[in-house]
Amino acid sequence: MIRTALLGSRFPSGNLWKILPLALLLCTTFVLPALAQEKDKLWRTLSVTGRGVETTPATLAQVSLGVEIQGKTAQEVQQEAARRSSAVVAFLKSQNVEKLQTTGIQLNPVYSYTNNVQRITGYAATNTVSFRIPTEKAGTLLDDAVKAGATQINGISFVANDQAIASAQKQALKEATQDAQQQADAVFSALGFKPKEVVSVQVNNASPPPPPMFLRAEAAKVADASTPVVGGEQQVEASVTLQISY
């Protein structure tokens, strides 16, 4: 009697044994083909990466220049650096330069060494700014900035304007996608496979490389000559990876 009750509580009906195999069969019938299709789709794919490069004129000069003052006391040099920097900034604003910003303010002691003894002999203050100007105006502006009080030309590079870069990025992406598609077509043709669909797209990069920095000189040394500035071209690169099923 006890054994019968236990069996009855675990399996309330004999029909369960008839239904269970049918349910398992139906589950297997639908699940296994679906898994097989997913596995087949996953493994039968080709990944190709295309590259696009677009060149655009570098019409802007990115300039970094500054004022450096040395003197006996920290207050003296800081005040003089601030005065000259204000004059330089005022001049740059009058020239309607783009993206003008302060990039550095420094005040450091100047040391001398006598008999291995370190002694502070003065202070040096440096204020630097960066800005953009049309390339054809850069040479004259650098000369005039020196007259306004700049004592250092820290760097100059050449870049395209934002609109030109955005347009070049789109074109480079288009070229990269076409390059990837052409590579895939060549592989499928060589192997005798027929492509089905693009199952994933990855945009790896679509930006211009950082512009190189050139030219560091004491501005006072070039103040008497007209500074020649020649721009160039800027490259925008993009790469696109396609995964194509077959």
Structure confidence by residue, pLDDT tens digits, 120-162? 999 999 999 999 999 999 999 999 999 999 999 998 999 898 8
Q: Which tokens hold the place of 60?
A: 């802007």
The half-sphere exposure of 219 on its side-chain side, counting CA atoms within 13 A, is 26
Q: Which amino acid is at 13?
A: S
For residues 191, 197, 200 and 204, what is the CA-based torsion angle, rounded to 10 degrees? 60
Beta bridge partners of 112: 119
Distance, CA of 153 to chain centre = 26
* Residue-level pLDDT at 210: 52
C-alpha pair distances (Å), 122 with each of 68, 74, 150, 220: 13, 7, 21, 22
What pLDDT was estimated at residue 1? 46
Q: What is the pLDDT confidence band of residue 223, given thresholds at 50, 70 and 90?
A: very low
Cα–Cα distance measured from residue 139 to residue 50, given in angstroms and rounded to the nearest whole number:
40
What token pair was written down for 179? 């390059």
Tokens of 65: 């220049």
Rounded distance, CA 159 to CA 52, Å? 19
Total count of residues recorded for the chain: 246
Percent of the chain predicted with pLDDT > 90: 61
First to last CA, the chain: 64
The pLDDT mean for the chain works out to: 81
Q: What is the mean pLDDT of residues 57-84?
A: 94
